[in-house]
Amino acid sequence: MSREQEYVLRTVEERGVRLVRLWFTDVLGRLKSVAISPAELESAFAEGVQFDGTAIDGFSRVHESDVLARPDATTFELLPWAQEDEPSGRMFCDIDNLDGTPFEGDPRQILRRNLQSAREQGYSFFAAPEAEFFYFASGDPSLGKPQPLDSASYFDLTTSDVSSDLRKRTIHMLEAMGIPVEYSFHEDSPSQHEIDLRYTEALDMADNVMTLRLVVKKIAMERDTYATFMPKPLNGVQGSGMHTHLSLFEGETNTFHDASDEYGMSQTARQFTAGILRHAREITAVTNQLVNSYKRLAETSEAPPFVAWARNNRSALVRVPVRRQGKSESARIEYRAIDGANNPYLAYSLLLAAGLKGISEGYELPAETNVNLFELTDLERREIGVEPLPRSLDEALDVMEESKLARETLGDHVFEWFLRNKRAEWADFCAHVTPFELERYLPTW
Amino acid sequence: MDALIVFPEPAPPELAQALDMGGWVWKSAVDIDSARREEPAEGWMGAVIVAGDDPDDAFRFCRAIRSGDINVESVLLLINGGHLASLDFRENLFDDFCLHPFHPVEFEARLKHLFRRAGRAARAEVIEYGPLAMNLETYQAVIEAKPLDLTYMEYELLKFLASHPGRVFTRETLLSRVWGYDYYGGARTVDVHVRRLRAKLGEEHANLIQTVRSVGYSFGTSRWV
């Protein structure tokens, strides 16, 4: 037994933990949990916890359906919302096959595998997301259009205080769970908030994003409200994204930094960015995986649907933040298309693989785009070599299906399952009569 | 506090790390003279002596202890498997021995066992600093009597920092002492964990860990100033 495992056992004993929740993530990025009692913890470390994979989307295969959840002792945290008299803790798990090999359907193992191949090239990969979300009075779609908390018609001041208070409580809880928050503020839209996490290594960050989404929703629920990361819940106002800052380190050195370059970008940064741009269309089905994701990308402000990069241009897909003198450590690029309904393990895997491909193949970075791409026509954009991202989930799936990079990065199992699952979602959507159609056609025809 | 004397100087890195991780107070000596010079008033609680490729120096050091030149209660000898035969007829020179390279768990167990047997408190079992207290036996930490929920690495990092108040450590030192020499991920890992620790200590106590610009980190202030 490792020291980390001993430590967890000891903590569980000392703190009188009654329940240990084993967390893992399905292919679509939804958090799953199996609870065990402390008495079972030692054997969970030694042998894993066997469960039926078919019960969970993406974890199902025709034959041999049982898998093993192996708790990662380094992720043990006591849950700050557990009642004082009944403390409980959680650990993220890696999922193995019964023969001990990593299970192909486990997103966390997929990210581990991709980080390992970066490591073999000498790189460690860091990510920092800016999570946007809305607070609504309810999450029940049968009640009609969602009601933001701070556009209620009376007690405006009081109700807007409610959402700021929710955000504050959320931040305290995240910090108590060892998830440092860099900034947080009220976003543009009514009842829309943003929480920016401080960078950390990508596997930890993917775990953190899973925890963040749960904590945000949990705190909202305590106050009888509802929080959502749905990319575009309201017409006419900006949707929610999860802009993500990326950087690549080689030991102590930020490989993206080069003081002598006019943009402060190293050759590595240029090639990595070029890789992300070249493969952006292929990975969009994963970074923006809902039918609804493309409603956010269709609007014309914070969500850039054009494959281009720039330092200060909100219409570009990749932003290269301008740094203060001497801040070589903070060299990074920001990927702006991705939204909050993502599976962070898969999204980070693909962003990393696309960037590394740029490095290994020596891709050339196109020129910076300084025009406002929203003001150009399709033809004008094509003339300057700027392609649009896929305009719908359907188109994104078509592009992904042809992508060797996506298949290799995700592995055949998840690649094929994902396409199948999302094709079905698209087919359902196509057959569904939307309020748009009723409003527009019913009175006329 | 009861201190250990370690021979030779510099101590092998894995030994230094094991001693630090175990929370032992120790000093390494280049020779018998320097061990005598640095001796605390109450003597050394124990000695950890590494018999390297040429064990003779190590045995000389042991003999100086046994003859009373250096005031040491108990001696733990670390010896390479190839030199086991040289222990014959030298049993009087040490109280216990451990094969080198050692397993950290065995090493720690032998140290604890030896110094318990010698009738001294093995070490400070509690680290206290201002509002912070850490119980090294139970792995629990409290701040203002409220439990701090730490992960294993956060706990080890805080323990290391809090055992050396006022001392400035570079990221590299922290990485090698707390994480181990072969840890992959670089000094950024230290920044990430310090930030996590500060978050858990809470706004009020976050400044227990200070950033020393372009050097590293320190904890609290030294009790000697």
Distance CA A327, CA A325 (A): 6
Asked if A279 and A272 touch (Cβ cutoff 8 Å), the reply is: no
What 3-state DSSP class applies to B44? Answer: strand
Is it the case that residue A405 has pLDDT exceeding 90?
Answer: yes
Q: How confident is the model at residue A396 (pLDDT cuts 50, 70, 90)?
A: very high
Q: What percent of chain A has pLDDT over 70?
A: 93
How much of chain B, in percent, has pLDDT values that exceed 70?
92
Q: Across the interface, which of A14, A78, A249 has its CB nearest the CB of B186?
A: A249
pLDDT in tens, B43-92: 888 899 999 887 888 988 888 888 888 888 788 888 888 888 888 888 88
| Parallel, antiparallel or unpaired: strands A253-254 and A244-250 | antiparallel
Contact B185 A124 (CB under 8 A): yes
Please report where in the chains the tokens 């690649």 appear, as a residue.
A415
* pLDDT at A384 (0 to 100): 87
DSSP A302: S
Identify which has the larger pLDDT, B90 or B2. B90
Q: Encode pLDDT of A299-336 as tens digits.
A: 666 677 889 999 888 788 999 987 766 677 789 999 99
Residue B215 at interface with chain A, using a CB cutoff of 8 Å: no
Q: What pLDDT is attached to residue B122?
A: 47
- Give dist(CA A428, CA B203) in Å, integer: 49
**Minimum-distance CB partner of A178 among B147, B151, B188:** B151
- Return the percent helix, strand and coil in chain B, to nearest 5: 40, 25, 35
Closest-CA distance, B186 to chain A, in angstroms, reads 5
Considering only residues 416 to 435 of chain A, which have any Cβ-Cβ distance to chain B shorter than 8 Å?
Answer: none
pLDDT score of A324: 67
pLDDT tens-digit map of A24-79: 999 999 999 999 999 999 999 999 999 877 656 555 555 557 889 999 999 999 99
User: Which residues of chain A make contact with B187, given a CB cutoff of 8 A?
Assistant: 251-252
Band (A264; pLDDT cuts 50, 70, 90): confident
Considering only CB atoms, which chain B residues are within 8 Å of A201?
A: 185, 188-189, 192
The length of chain B, given as a count of residues: 225
**Structural domains for chain B:** 3-117 (3.40.50.2300), 126-219 (1.10.10.10)
C-alpha span between A122 and A440 (Å, rounded): 57
Compute the distance between CA of residue A205 and CA of residue A179 in angstroms, rounded to an integer.
9
Closest residue of chain A to B197, computed from CA coordinates:
A178
Instruction: Judge whether A20 is closer than 8 Å to chain B, CB to CB.
Output: no
Average pLDDT over residues A2-26: 91
Mutate which: B103, B139, B152, B204, vs A, most A CBs within 10 A: B152
Q: Which of residues 32-91 of A touch B (CB under 8 A)?
A: 73-78, 80
CATH topology (fold) of A114-441: Creatine Kinase; Chain A, domain 2 (3.30.590)
Residue A1 CA to residue A41 CA, distance in Å, equals 12
Contact A344, A210 (CB under 8 A): yes
Measured over the CA atoms of residue A348, residue A354, residue A360 and residue A366, the dihedral's sign is negative
| Nearest chain A CA: its distance from B73 CA (Å) | 30
Q: Hey, do A3-103 and A114-441 end up sharing a CATH topology, with the first three levels equal? A: no
Q: Which residue type, as a one-letter code, is found at position B76?
A: L
Q: Is A201 in contact with B189 (Cβ distance < 8 A)?
A: yes
User: Which residue in the set A11, A80, A252 is minimally distant from B139, CB to CB?
Assistant: A11
**Which ranges constitute the DSSP H helices of chain B?**
13-21, 32-37, 56-66, 104-117, 152-163, 171-174, 188-201
% pLDDT > 90, chain A:
64
Top-confidence range, A425-434, B4-13, B213-222: A425-434
**Between B152, B192, B197, which is nearest A3 by CB?**
B152
Least confident of A148-152, A366-370, A381-385, B105-109: A148-152
**Whole-number Å distance between alpha carbons of A290 and A287:** 9
- Tell me how far apart the alpha carbons of residues B207 and B199 are, in angstroms, rounded to a whole number: 10
Look at residues A398, A413, A305 and name the one whose alpha carbon lies nearest to residue A58. A413
Q: Which residues does chain B have within 8 Å of residue A85's beta carbon, measured at their own beta carbons?
A: none
pLDDT of residue A282: 97
Q: Flag whether residue B180 sits within 8 Å of chain A, measured between CB atoms.
A: no
Average confidence score pLDDT of chain A? 89
pLDDT score at A292: 96
Domain ranges of chain A: 3-103, 114-441
Contact of B195 with chain A, judged by CB distance below 8 Å, is answered with: yes
Asked if B152 reaches chain A (Cβ–Cβ under 8 Å), the answer is yes
CB-nearest to A7 from B139, B188, B200 is: B139
pLDDT computed for residue A155 by the predictor? 38
pLDDT single digits (tens) A147-195: 888 754 333 444 557 777 888 899 999 998 999 998 887 777 788 889 9
Dist CA A421 CA A401 (whole Å) = 13
CATH number assigned to the domain covering A3-103: 3.10.20.70
* pLDDT given for residue A152 in this prediction: 40
Closest CA to A6 of B128, B155, B101: B155
| A119 part of contact set with chain B, CB < 8 Å | yes
Beta strands A192-197 and A124-136, pairing class: antiparallel
Q: Which two tokens stand for residue A110?
A: 């997929």
pLDDT tens by residue, B204-216:
899 899 999 888 9
pLDDT in tens, A85-144: 688 999 999 999 889 999 988 999 999 999 999 999 999 999 999 999 999 988 888 888
Rounded to two decimals, the pTM is: 0.80
The pLDDT of residue A52: 78
Nearest by CB to residue B195, choosing from A76, A124, A198, is: A198
Please report where in the chains the tokens 């979300």 appear, as a residue.
A133
Residue B169 has pLDDT above 50, yes or no: yes
CB of B199 within 8 Å of a chain A CB? The answer is yes
Partnered with residue A246 across adjacent β-strands are: A127, A333
pLDDT at A107: 95
